[in-house]
Amino acid sequence: MKVFISSVVRGFEQFRAAAKDAVETLDMKPVMSEHFGARTYSSEHACLTEVDQCDVYILILGANYGYEPQPGLSVTQQEFHQAVSKRKPILVFIQQTDFDAKQIVFVNEVSDYKQGFFRASFSDPQELLKAIVQGLSRMEKSKSAISENAFHERITEASSSRSYGGHSYAPQLEFAFLPQPIEQHAVHGAAQRRDEIFHSFHNLGLAKFKQGYEDWDDKLFTGLKSGDTSWRVFDDGLVLLETDASVPVEGRTAGLYFVSPTNLSKLIKSCFEVSGFNSGWYRITLKNLDMAKIEEPPATAPSSYSMPMRREKLVSESRLFIPATRPIVEQWIQESIVRMARSLAY
């Protein structure tokens, strides 16, 4: 596996050497500008060509912005843009230091780009080496994860097991999590944690303490039910959590429901808290939406309203997180809510 190491060179030799050692520790091949040799085209062109051909792109940002072959655009920033455009796996490592003015802008750009890469900080070469080994190891772990289709099929299989109680017409949030790699014998451990999980539900606003909870057991899973919230764990670690996604509106007319994006974001974040932000597949699904709107509700119910005629009664978003870091998860939650709302509006 070819790993391109992108950073300034001058004054950064110790850090680049540490990065090289980290890559070679995992029996991967580091690709570095120092080793390109003579070429028939410019060094900048050579760097971008090597980015195209690499399997993984590592970006290391220190204090200095670096050489600018074009005004306002350093070689390192060009390499990053190339890696993004080619959809390369990207691992970013940012030094804990003071940045020059242009580097501050670049660091902010990288920090705003939250899709598809691992990010860590470091202060010295040894910390950088450890962080790169960790990042590359996690990336390799993600390659062994099951496919998205297999994840959906697993949820469908689990959902066909015994349901609890009657049907609700209110919009429901279904949160699904499958650890990667999958666990073994997760049911036994989960059964011992019911009290802990219920207290978490209470603290996160997913259940009321005075309601208590009921055990929910089957040969395939263990779980609990409290009010409108249910939680199930299967032996491979699959977690299915369901709760009411609607918000109350004073004087609400029967049959009209509102799913508040603000409240929905809080609910989904609470579900991630219950799952411990562990690495794996995640899916969020909104169900029973034929008489619901995904928008902030009015203070009081309107005297009249129009409901769209739609076939879609559910919308969902899924993603593999290895690792499930809070900034990336929170960004994905907000983007997912916008996409789900748009899919119902058009």
Last residue of a domain, one of 121, 143, 165: 143
Rounded-to-integer distance, Cα 81 and Cα 61, Å: 14
Q: Which pLDDT belongs to residue 41?
A: 47
Residues 116 and 161 in one domain: no
The pTM for the full model equals: 0.70
* pLDDT, tens digit (0-9, with 9 covering 90-100), for 264-282: 999 999 999 999 999 899 9
Using an 8 Å Cβ cutoff, are 129 and 19 in contact? Answer: yes
pLDDT over 50 at 78, yes or no: yes
* pLDDT, tens digit (0-9, with 9 covering 90-100), for 16-54: 999 999 999 999 999 998 877 544 445 678 899 999 999
Residues 164 and 42 in one domain: no
Q: Which pLDDT belongs to residue 166?
A: 55
Would you state the torsion angle of the CA atoms of residues 162, 166, 170, 171, taken in this order, to the nearest 10 degrees?
10
Q: What percent of the chain is predicted at pLDDT more than 90?
A: 66
Residues 43 and 112 in one domain: yes
Averaged pLDDT, 68-92:
91
- Domain residues for the domain of 207 are 148-345
Residues 27 and 127 in one domain: yes
Rounded-to-integer distance, Cα 24 and Cα 17, Å: 11
Quickly state the pLDDT bin for 161 (edges 50, 70, 90).
Answer: low
pLDDT over 80 at 332, yes or no: yes
Residues 179 and 164 in one domain: yes
Closest CA to 67 of 3, 116, 7, 140: 7
**pLDDT, mean over the chain:** 88
* pLDDT, tens digit (0-9, with 9 covering 90-100), for 307-323: 555 555 789 999 998 87
Averaged pLDDT, 226-231:
95
Last residue of a domain, one of 124, 143, 162: 143
Residues 137 and 158 in one domain: no
pLDDT over 80 at 170, yes or no: yes
Last residue of a domain, one of 117, 143, 169: 143
Domain count, the chain: 2
Residues 96 and 191 in one domain: no
Residues 167 and 200 in one domain: yes
Task: Indicate which CATH number applies to the domain containing 11.
Answer: 3.40.50.450
Tally the residues of the chain: 346
Residues 218 and 319 in one domain: yes
